[in-house]
Amino acid sequence: MLSYSSYVLTAVAALLVTCHALRKFPEVPRLAGIFGLPGRDDLRGQPPLSGLPNSLDTELYDTLLHLGKRLSRLEGVLALNGKITEAGEKILASNGKEVDFASALESCEKAGGTLATPMNEEENNAVLNIVKQYNRYAFLGIKEGDTSGQFKYIDGTPLNYTKWHQYEPNGKGREKCVEMYTDGSWNDKRCNLHRLTICEF
CA 37 to mean position of chain CA atoms: 24
Within 10 angstroms of residue 172's Cβ, the number of other Cβ atoms is 10
CB 148 within 8 A of CB 172: yes
Neighbouring residues of 71: CB distance < 8 A, sequence distance ≥ 6: 11, 14, 15, 18, 34
Give the torsion through C-alpha atoms of 171, 175, 178, 183, to 10 deg. -50
Residues 44 and 201: their CA atoms lie apart, in Å, by: 35
Q: What is 87-200's CATH superfamily?
A: Mannose-Binding Protein A, subunit A (3.10.100.10)
The ranges of the chain with pLDDT < 50 are 1-2, 4-6, 8-9, 16, 19-20, 22-44, 48
The domain segmentation of the chain, as residue ranges, is 4-80, 87-200
Are 147 and 173 within 8 A, CB to CB? no
* Residue 66: per-residue pLDDT: 86
φ, ψ at 177 (rounded to 5°): -105, 170
Tell me the whole-structure pTM to 2 decimals: 0.66
Question: pLDDT (tens digit, 9 = 90+) per residue, 139-158?
Answer: 999 999 988 889 999 999 99
Distance in angstroms (rounded) separating the CA atoms of residues 22 and 15: 11
Cis peptide before 26 (omega within 30 of 0): no
φ and ψ at residue 196, rounded to 5 degrees = -60, 140
In this predicted model, what pLDDT tens digit does every residue of 52-65 receive, in sequence order? 555 556 777 788 88
User: Whole-angstrom Cα distance, residue 75 to residue 8?
Assistant: 9
